[in-house]
């Protein structure tokens, strides 16, 4: 075995030696310390599969990872490798402030560098919660090692008075009912205890499930693994198989850049549209693609959206849950249905093309959940990009989860200057607002101090909610949870904190929304806008906040750090 850390023929623990100026000494020392962990010489001579462990007491969605990781280790050992588990940052969606997106790039950087710095021939990245999968896919794309993405899997649903409950579309549905005075405190507390009852990621087509479907479509997660529930025995078998596949990918030199290509990214967009997936996935896919030098074109998203119907009946767009999609045939059933719209020559981690993969299997599909292409759930794709004077760099709109009656209209802006202003005034009985107004929040984009939280689903003002108003046009530079629904325009780019047009909107201005024309326009004369001053923002002086403020890109570039992209704007 070569002891040269730069020698590509070196494998396993001989890779990437610590620099003491004496390579033989470095390997001798490394083996000696590895032996202190009780490995035999034979084990230490094996190729190494690193396993990224994102278990954390702050991440309920990853509660099953210890068992899943044991299964991955089993697979690696059975295939002749040495599994070595290592921890990275874990991002539990609801345990982070101000928002998990702020730390996605930090997790991606941690994961990329630990894959690069430690000796391994391949890697299995185990994650699931909203930001962990995009962070890991970004890291895998940049680290350049043969890699498999293994998902935590979705939660199972629970029940409440004869209704199925699953995080987190039902979380929002019941909260809206509570705000409207339809249910009382005791009832909402009971619901709170039943929304999330097993390990795993949110039970609907939220960001986690959307990113799982995208990981399988890109070919980085093994076929058939995205939708397996977290607590199902198949999830453990997927773990075993992922360990074996990682070792095989190492033998074949199958690195992520061979899987993440313009064609596979377009396939991922098609799947995102067809499953009625999360708006966040547009952001994450732009960041993942940007790691290998591929730009995500929002005009192309619109073209794809016009030809790609929503074929999956899952919340928040439809009625079912992820466990139903698994039983209905999983992401494979969706991909099979979409075959005429996909690039079938894309490689997957098994070495097969997507087309070869889809030619296998029994073809079982439950048509209640996965509809045929010629009889879809909705005739058009779930998402569109809007452009116009309010969003020259684009905005994202989830038309599959919005009220079509609100798609073509002009309204008076009722403006909130950031999250604190929103919290202070939204329920004020004196707020000057009608159901026909457009609620606008600015100062919640990627360059703001709040770091683009999932706050774009502005609550309906209590006085309107109690009068029966269920939806209004809402516009912001923030994001929205993939589990939410409503006529909500998000990711307005450039954001207000960077001086985009949104910064200049005032209450009383008129705004026109046309989903048909893909437009969002501020109907204020240029001469008037020039007179309006831009807000000033304090710059953080140190630490991660400073790095974030200096390097964060806008939503159209996926909010990645510029220096982590394959083609940074400022090299």
Within 309-437, where are the H helices?
Answer: 322-327, 330-337, 354-358, 419-425
- As measured in angstroms, the least distance from the Cβ of 59 to ligand FES is 7
- As measured in angstroms, the least distance from the Cβ of 131 to ligand FES is 9
- As measured in angstroms, the least distance from the Cβ of 113 to ligand FES is 24
Secondary structure (3-state) at 338 = coil
Secondary structure (3-state) at 49 = strand
Phi, psi angle pair for 479, to nearest 5°: -105, 180
Secondary structure (3-state) at 564 = helix
CB nearer to ligand FES: pick between 94 and 180:
94
DSSP-derived secondary structure for 388-424: ETTEEEEEEEEGGGS-GGGSEEEEEEEEEESHHHHHH
Tell me whether residue 110 is exposed, middle or buried, using C-beta atoms within 10 angstroms of its C-beta: 0 to 12, 13 to 18, 19 or more.
Answer: middle
Secondary structure (3-state) at 52 = strand
- As measured in angstroms, the least distance from the Cβ of 207 to ligand FES is 7
CB nearer to ligand FES: pick between 91 and 564:
91
Tell me whether residue 391 is exposed, middle or buried, using C-beta atoms within 10 angstroms of its C-beta: 0 to 12, 13 to 18, 19 or more.
Answer: buried
Q: Do 331 and 271 form a contact (C-beta atoms < 8 A)?
A: yes
Torsion of Cα atoms, 153 then 158 then 164 then 167, to 10°: -50
CB nearer to ligand FES: pick between 47 and 127:
127
CB nearer to ligand FES: pick between 129 and 150:
129
- As measured in angstroms, the least distance from the Cβ of 322 to ligand FES is 10
- Separation between Cα atoms, residue 178 and residue 63, nearest integer Å: 29
Residue 263 has a CB neighbour count (10 Å cut-off) of 16
Residue 404 has a CB neighbour count (10 Å cut-off) of 9
CB nearer to ligand FES: pick between 132 and 255:
132
CB nearer to ligand FES: pick between 109 and 167:
167
- As measured in angstroms, the least distance from the Cβ of 210 to ligand FES is 10
- As measured in angstroms, the least distance from the Cβ of 226 to ligand FES is 13
CB nearer to ligand FES: pick between 132 and 264:
132
- As measured in angstroms, the least distance from the Cβ of 130 to ligand FES is 5
- As measured in angstroms, the least distance from the Cβ of 129 to ligand FES is 3
Helix (H) or strand (E) holding 493: strand 488-493
**Nearest Cα to 111, choosing from 91, 95, 81, 82?**
91
- Separation between Cα atoms, residue 435 and residue 430, nearest integer Å: 15
CB nearer to ligand FES: pick between 210 and 264:
210
Q: What angle do CA 324, 327, 333 make, to 5 degrees?
A: 100
Q: What angle do CA 90, 96, 102 make, to 5 degrees?
A: 80
CB nearer to ligand FES: pick between 202 and 460:
202
- As measured in angstroms, the least distance from the Cβ of 167 to ligand FES is 6
- Separation between Cα atoms, residue 530 and residue 519, nearest integer Å: 22
CB nearer to ligand FES: pick between 214 and 513:
214
Judged by the rule CB under 6 A, the positions of this chain that interact with ligand FES are 61, 93-94, 129-130, 167-168, 201-202, 206, 208
- As measured in angstroms, the least distance from the Cβ of 64 to ligand FES is 12
Alpha-carbon distances, residue 21 vs 28, 123, 375 (angstroms): 13, 28, 67
CB nearer to ligand FES: pick between 34 and 94:
94
CB nearer to ligand FES: pick between 166 and 376:
166
Q: Do 321 and 157 form a contact (C-beta atoms < 8 A)?
A: yes
Rg (CA), the chain: 24
CB nearer to ligand FES: pick between 46 and 63:
63
- As measured in angstroms, the least distance from the Cβ of 92 to ligand FES is 7
**Nearest Cα to 69, choosing from 87, 48, 47, 81?**
87
Q: Do 395 and 520 form a contact (C-beta atoms < 8 A)?
A: yes
């Amino acid at each position: 075995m070569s002891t040269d850390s730069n020698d590509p023929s070196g494998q396993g623990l001989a890779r990437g030696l610590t620099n003491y100026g004496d390579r033989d000494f470095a390997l001798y020392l490394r083996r000696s310390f590895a032996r202190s962990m009780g490995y035999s010489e034979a084990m230490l001579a094996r190729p190494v599969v690193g396993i990224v462990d994102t278990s954390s007491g702050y991440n309920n969605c990853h509660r099953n990872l210890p068992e899943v990781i044991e299964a991955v280790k089993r697979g690696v050992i059975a295939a002749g490798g040495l599994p070595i588990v290592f921890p990275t940052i874990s991002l539990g969606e609801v345990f982070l402030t101000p928002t998990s997106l702020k730390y996605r790039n930090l997790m991606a950087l941690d994961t990329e560098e630990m894959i690069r710095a430690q000796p391994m021939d391949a890697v299995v990245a185990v994650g699931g919660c909203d930001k962990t999968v995009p962070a890991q896919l970004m890291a895998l794309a940049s680290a350049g090692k043969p890699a498999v993405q293994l998902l935590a899997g979705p939660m199972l649903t629970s029940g409440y008075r004869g209704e199925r409950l699953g995080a987190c579309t039902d979380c929002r549905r019941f909260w809206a009912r509570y705000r409207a005075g339809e249910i009382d405190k005791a009832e909402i507390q009971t619901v709170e205890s039943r929304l999330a009852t097993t390990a795993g990621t949110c039970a609907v087509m939220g960001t986690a499930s959307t990113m799982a479907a995208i990981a399988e479509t890109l070919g980085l997660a093994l076929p058939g693994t995205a939708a397996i529930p977290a607590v199902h025995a198949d999830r453990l078998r997927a773990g075993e198989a992922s360990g074996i596949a990682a070792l095989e990918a190492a033998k074949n030199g199958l690195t992520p850049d061979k899987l993440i290509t313009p064609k596979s990214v377009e396939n991922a967009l098609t799947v995102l549209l067809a499953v009625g997936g999360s708006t966040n996935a547009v952001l994450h896919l732009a960041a993942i693609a940007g790691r290998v030098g591929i730009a995500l074109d929002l005009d192309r998203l619109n073209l794809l959206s016009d030809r790609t119907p929503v074929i999956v009946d899952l919340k928040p767009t439809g009625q079912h849950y992820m466990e139903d999609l698994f039983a209905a045939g999983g992401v494979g059933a969706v991909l099979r249905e979409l075959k005429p719209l996909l690039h079938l020559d894309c490689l997957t981690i098994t070495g097969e093309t997507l087309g070869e993969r889809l030619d296998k299997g029994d073809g079982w599909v439950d048509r209640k959940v996965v509809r045929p292409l010629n009889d879809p759930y909705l005739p058009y794709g779930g998402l569109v990009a809007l452009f116009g004077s309010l969003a020259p760099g684009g905005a994202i709109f989830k038309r599959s989860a919005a009220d079509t009656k609100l798609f073509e209209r002009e309204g008076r802006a009722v403006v909130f200057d950031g999250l604190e202003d929103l919290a202070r005034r939204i329920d004020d009985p004196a707020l000057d607002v009608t159901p026909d107004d457009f609620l606008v929040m600015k100062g919640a984009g990627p360059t703001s101090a709040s770091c683009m939280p999932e706050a774009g689903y502005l609550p309906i003002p209590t006085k309107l909610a109690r009068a029966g108003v269920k939806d209004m046009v809402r516009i912001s530079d923030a994001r929205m949870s993939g589990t939410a629904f409503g006529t909500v325009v998000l990711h307005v780019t450039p954001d207000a904190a960077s001086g985009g047009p949104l910064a200049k909107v005032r209450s009383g201005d008129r705004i026109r929304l046309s989903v048909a024309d893909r437009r969002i326009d501020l109907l204020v004369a240029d001469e008037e806008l020039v007179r309006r001053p831009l807000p000033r923002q304090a710059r953080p002086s140190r630490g991660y906040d400073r790095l974030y403020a200096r390097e964060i890109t806008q939503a159209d570039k996926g909010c990645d750090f510029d220096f982590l992209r394959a083609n940074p704007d400022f090299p």
